[in-house]
Structure 1
């Protein structure tokens, strides 16, 4: 059998084989491999590729980095709380044991042991002014032993005291500031007791009280 005869007999088989190979190649070319090689590379590099459970590939890394370290937990106290404590401390009185000062309007009352019988003499032209003074002194706890008139030139309302009674006279003047002058006794004044001589300035006290009462 010659070579040509052999090729003629084998040619149909070769054609069939080549056709089969061509079909396989065509199928591979059309459908290819379903595996995405780029996706595998992206996951290894840490890119934002989705994982099988639907979470971000590097989400766990972000959560770990955002967590505060133990050292961060020991922060300094809040400034507002500290300032509040300081305000409470400064609100306390500086001298809590210091007694309150007495009200000047309350006046001063002489102690009983410094109260001595008093005589009152009226140097003004106002009749009965000595009786007004008597009521004021008696209301303040002093005894008025006598009242009368005085002819002289005493410059202002004065309490005259005999020897040894200056402290009594000072106590009377402090309790009744309208008696603004304290002097040793003089001639023409009872030398045995305190004597108050009323002068025109005493009228101001009476007039002020009348105005307050009328108002």
Structure 2
């Protein structure tokens, strides 16, 4: 068999091999930037586990402090003048007024990631604009599939103060919780829920 005949027979195999290599390289280029260094804009930059879905423990919803109801039959409560009708710290509906937003000092403004759990397209980008206008750096944005009950900022160990400062500056981010496994462990991560959309659109 001549060299030309060998090349003619091997040529289809070489073409198939080169095609396969090309496809692999393209896939690596598209999906390979999952190093969590803050440069990517996909979900992998925020959630690095194999399963991007997250269902928060329902017990977490009970962690938020709730005031004890006042017994209307308690004479001490009537004499104290601290019911809803007499308290100067409550509005006409008997609810305490929302605290005024407090701008976080620059030293507490650390980079954050924003994940959109809602079906509202581009909500994470609108949140990014609001945060950046307030002096915060947004390192990454993405969608998110999970069951977070309300808009929450999750903080890694040692960053609770930054998370609290962010929540005070943006009261629409009402929950502050420790981070969970699978989320970027180097920065704050905000998960947007429908209540955030209500505030922004309102």
TM-score when normalising by structure 1: 0.47
State the alpha-carbon separation in 2 of the partners of residues 188 and 179 from structure 1.
21
Alignment partners' CA distance in 1, 2:179 and 2:120 = 24
1:15-164 equivalences in 2 (<5 Å):
107-164=101-158
Aligned to 1:176: 170
Cα RMSD (Å): 1.4
Cα drift, residue 107 of structure 1: 2.6
TM-score under structure 2 length normalisation: 0.50
| CA distance in 2 between partners of 1:143 and 1:155 (Å) | 25
Taking the aligned partners of 1:105 and 1:195, their CA distance within structure 2 comes to 23
Q: Residues 194 and 105 of structure 1: is their aligned pair in 2 closer, same or farther, counting only changes over 3 Å? A: closer
Higher-Rg structure is 1
CA offsets per residue over residues 141-174 of structure 1, 9 Å max, x none? Answer: 0000000011110000000000000000000000
> What CA distance in whole angstroms lies between the structure 2 residues aligned with 1:157 and 1:115?
19
**Mapped partners of 1:187, 1:149: distance in 2:** 17
Quote how far apart the aligned CAs of 1:105 are. 8.3
Aligned partner of 1:13 in structure 2 is: none
Q: How many residues align?
A: 105
- Would you tell me which structure has more helix in proportion to its own residues? 1
1:203 partnered with 2:193: no
Name structure 2 gaps, 5 residues minimum: 1-97
Runs (5+) with no aligned partner, structure 1? 1-103, 209-215
Query: How far apart in 1 are the matches of 2:186 and 2:107?
Result: 18
